Structure 1
Amino acid sequence: MIRVLVCDDQALIRTGFATIIDAQPDLEVVGECGDGRTAIDLAGSLRPDVVVMDVRMPVLDGIEATRLLAGAGVAQPVKVLVVTTFNLDEYVYEALRAGASGFLLKDAPPAQLLHGIRTVATGAALLDPEVTRRLVGKYAARIRPASSGEVALAPRELEVLRLIADGLSNSEIAAALVISQETVKTYVSRILTKLDLRDRVQAVVYAYRTGLVS
């Protein structure tokens, strides 16, 4: 059973999400709240597997809440799925940098929301490739340019990283490079380990930050 905390300041949306989620045999809504501060408090007591997080909220917004729940240095990070009205909102990009495992638009069909929760719960990242490329590309200039101390990747690892940043799935990368999906998984794992990245979302940001893609 995947335990879910729903955080959105609009009661109608919050209730709608909770109803959709609770109808699934493998998902359970363990709490609901309308601001980021309450989300942090509830996450500490309820121990959800995934927090479905709005961005713009009172008291504490979704970005800071995400940073405190899933950011670097958090002892027991919680997976956060950001759900927003704006597909190119600067706040979404900041939330991804803060540690979110992915994002969805609020007008996404219910099946996509459920898929997103299950995907994030497994430790994978959920990306809309086209939107993510545009989003990260738009705000990548705000990230400090890579220093000379960046970890070096092998040529094939760089190829795989570029394709990840282009939004390709493992199967698409395998086809593009004419290698097996298992080999792609090995490269992805090696890239994340070498660069000390949590998931593919952070890999995309890294690729833009270092100028591998633009």
Structure 2
Amino acid sequence: MNLKEKCKHIIANITVEPILAAYILPNTLAALATQNLYLEKACRLNLNYSDKVCTEIIHGNGSIYPTEEMNSAELVVYMGVWKTYLSCPLIEIFGGVTIIAMRSIVSKLVPTTDIGQLNSLFGVCDALTPILYSTVYNTVYANTQETLIGTIYIMSAVLMTPPAIIFMLMYKMENREKKNIASGQNQALETYKQTPKNEFQPRSYHKNEGFEDDQKD
């Protein structure tokens, strides 16, 4: 395929990629960039602390005023709680689609005899993921609340890199499998075209007159 055909093929196969590029990544970067603005708003406006206290907290010198820093951080955290009630239903609705699509792609890449082992692996991962991720996220959040509140966002972005690479590899493997199937079909078609037509015609047969006479008798 030339460059124009490749571009058409890419555009025709676009599904949810624009959401990742246009919403998720900018939202994550904006959340990291606006943490200090939220902290300053909570300190100066909501809690009405002095300029000296708020300046020290924003510049990372919150150890001088630990109580004020903790109050400001807690207020910043609770600012986005209302968004959870909007995002959780959407995650529950569309989150299952991702799992179904992933399992569908993976099941097509393995032999039919290994599908049982693949489902067992999925079951183990589904059981261990909530335990591991909940522990890791709670530990990271508790240890970075006083230093960098947005560390969990950075960790989420880093943890998204291996799945993205795996999905790209799976996509390439699926395309390679489709090409192999298509090449096999084309090869079979070429073999059929090169085969002489008389081989597919029914063979002529001779009447057995003696057998027919016996049936008449």
Q: Does the pair score TM above 0.5?
A: no
Larger Rg over CA atoms: 2
Q: TM-score range by the shorter chain?
A: under 0.3
Q: Work out which structure has the larger RCO, using CA pairs closer than 8 Å and 6 or more positions apart in sequence.
A: 2
TM-score w.r.t. the length of structure 2 is 0.22
TM-score w.r.t. the length of structure 1 is 0.22
More helix by proportion, 1 or 2? 2
More strand by proportion, 1 or 2? 1
